[in-house]
Structure 1
């Protein structure tokens, strides 16, 4: 495609580099709360954040060391077995009083508070509905009458071990991942690449060069003129995780990709998200759109709540001459008797009498 491989590789290596402490202190600040009301895992997490890796070590805490090592594991695609071997070797190299975990299992358990919440949702075996929201407490599908729990018995051994098979969706919230893209300076810059960094000629190098991309911009002009709006792609395919083609089971991971990014990044694993995992005795079929409702709702929430403070009360204004979207009503943050609240011509032509909402606490979020 005529790309500079050395340049692309250096860009890839620099992406997501947030400094030596991996924004650990920012992360800890976001998680602060009343430790007495937190589960045991969170209490242990905060303890590990301040515990030195070994006596006299001032550079690494127990938590920071594990985060660094686990980041290497993910970046280099080490298996759990290889990572356990590395931890065992490093533990022997360090002083005897070191706090480094000795296995991948212990390391994952220590980092579990950082994991994203997973929602398990039952689905109708005929793909009619999800037992979600208004159907959450039903036991029979209101459209086809199929039982929520009973499938045709696949095999007695499976029944005895795992109970009646149920069609499940594993829903992972992706909004936080998107917010972190914009929080990182390098990532935020790369999200503009499809406009500012792409070479525009008659060749098709990226989805932004395709007619469909232009058609979407024409159909939704308000969306198309804002370069920061995310262009997302959903793709899925089924597989049998048991490595046995005779087993009647399929797992369908739904992958979410960000097409704003450069060619050498948009297909990288760190920018590919898994919002949904469909699991059951048979594949979803043509009615897979029923299963996509949870991630679509997440994306709608992300679209509406552009400001993490104002959320649904975000006030925006489209400027026709400048052809961009701006966020207004900053006067609401001023004292109620501030003179700027009465300057109509200087702002939007109206008196501002509203008061800005207070920032949400971590518990509310």
Structure 2
């Protein structure tokens, strides 16, 4: 785990914490905090421990909790027992809240957004405080439980969508000297001839660059492909359940890297017993809002490989799907021609 963060991604390839920067630009607060957190993650689990660092142990423990459905109370009790068993000076947090806070600060986090059971709306923005769907009238809550004291109220939503904010993910991509250099490979590293070896060699990419010269002038700006499809996460087809991820693929990376699953960027996870079908647009709002913000406004990002800040922007060039999913993404399940775009208001 530490090697992945510190060596594999070259976190300290251009700087050492505490040293004065050669660049006039200061690091983003988020990147600086990230460096500190990674440095803290190198802390020994207890004095003299060589097998686990604090970060390694907590990530493994949280993974077991999620895989085995361990409750928060059970996790707290197990964590307390482990702390008592370890030698004096151990670095574990006291409870699950502390472990989750540590992992979330590193970037392993997401936003939970309530959704209508019938895929009508997301309860956000103008619907953030609604208690029922304004379209179909279905209650937002599956159950509402009141505590023994009569004051605490625990509400369980009908459906929850997980959203992974894109800006933070891209900023972390440039916090590494290795991955930041890979993002520029399409401009600086590829062979430029008449052969198509990379999406950058395609007519579509070149046409886009010719139209949007302000975007293409910054080689670090990211071009994405978008894919969406469903699968049964339990591997048991007898269970009527599916999960629908919306994935972004950064095509700036070299071809032997960009199509690896580990380099896909997870944007949204849609749980449910059935496919959202033509209501996929309801959930696509989250990804599209992220992309629009990055296209229109951008985000100031620190590039570790160049030791400077730049305004990072992003664009969506392609979508990847089979024909049934292509129909769902285009709303109209009857006419889904990708050339004439007739009656396909979502394309």
Into which bin does the TM-score normalised by the smaller protein fall?
0.5 to 0.7
Q: In structure 1, how many angstroms separate the alpha carbons of the residues matched to 2:31 and 2:175?
A: 16
Alignment correspondent of 2:290: 298
Q: 1:67 aligns with which of 32, 40, 55?
A: 55
1:215/1:70 CA distance change after superposition, 3 Å: farther
Map Cα deviations across residues 3-25 of structure 1 (whole Å, 9 max, x no partner): xxxxxxxxxx97512249x9788
Q: How many residues align?
A: 252
Tell me the alpha carbon deviations over residues 101-154 of structure 1, each in whole angstroms, 9 at most, x when there is no partner. 8xxx9996694343444222222344332111101222333334444447xxxx
Out of 269-278 and 137-146, give the one that drifted further.
137-146
Choose between structure 1 and 2: higher strand proportion.
Answer: 2
Structure 2 residue 254 is matched with structure 1 residue 266: no
Residue by residue over 1:244-303, the C-alpha shift from the partner in whole angstroms, topping out at 9 and shown as x without a partner, is: 323332111122221101112212344322121101121111231220222332334444
**Structure 2 partner of 1:341:** none
Work out whether 1:121 is the aligned partner of 2:124: no
Shift of 1:231: 0.5
In the alignment, which residue of structure 2 is the partner of 1:17?
Answer: 10
Q: What do residues 38-90 of structure 1 show as CA deviations (whole Å, max 9, x unaligned)?
A: xxxxxxx99x76975555x5xx899x82436789x8xxxxxx89xxxxxxxxx
Partner of 2:322: none
TM-score normalized by the length of structure 1: 0.54
Q: Does 1:30 align with 2:18?
A: no
Deviation, 1:307, is 2.6
**Distance (Å, rounded) in 1 between the aligned partners of 2:188 and 2:34:** 36
Q: Is the 8 A contact 1:15 1:187 kept in 2?
A: no
1:232, CA displacement in angstroms? 1.3
Equivalent positions of 1:206-225 (< 5 A) are: 206-225=198-217
Alignment of 1:1-365 (within 5 A): 16-19=9-12, 30=33, 54-55=46-47, 57=48, 65-67=53-55, 99=90, 111-112=102-103, 113-149=105-141, 166-303=158-295, 304-307=297-300
Computed over aligned residues only, the root mean square deviation of the Cα atoms, in angstroms, reads 4.8
Q: Check whether the contact 1:192–1:227 (CA below 8 A) recurs between aligned residues.
A: yes
Q: Deviations over 1:150-200 (max 9, x none)?
A: 7xxxxxxxxxxxx99833211122322211222322222221111121123
Supply the distance in 1 between the matched residues of 2:56 and 2:288 (Cα, whole angstroms): 33
Measured in 2, the distance between the counterparts of 1:170 and 1:233 equals 20
How much has 1:230 moved relative to structure 2? 0.5
Matched residue, 2:152: none
SS at match of 1:215: helix
Moved more, 217-226 or 246-255: 217-226
Change (3 A) 1:229 1:294: same
Equivalent pair of 1:252/1:277 in contact (CA under 8 Å): yes
CA contact (8 A) 2:230 2:243 kept: yes
CA separation of 1:29 and 1:201: change in aligned 2, threshold 3 A: closer
Query: Structure 1 pair 31/14, CA: closer, same or farther in 2 (3 Å)?
Result: closer
Give yes or no for contact 1:231–1:260 (8 Å, CA) kept in 2. Answer: yes
Distance (Å, rounded) in 1 between the aligned partners of 2:136 and 2:97: 46
Q: Can you give the 5+ residue segments of structure 2 that lack an aligned partner in the other structure?
A: 1-5, 19-26, 61-66, 69-81, 143-154, 303-308, 312-347
Q: Are the counterparts in 2 of residues 191 and 228 from structure 1 also a CA contact under 8 Å?
A: yes
Change (3 A) 1:145 1:268: same
Deviation track 1:192-227 (CA, whole Å, cap 9, x = no partner) reads 111121123333322222222223224433323332
CA distance in 2, matches of 1:115, 1:137: 27
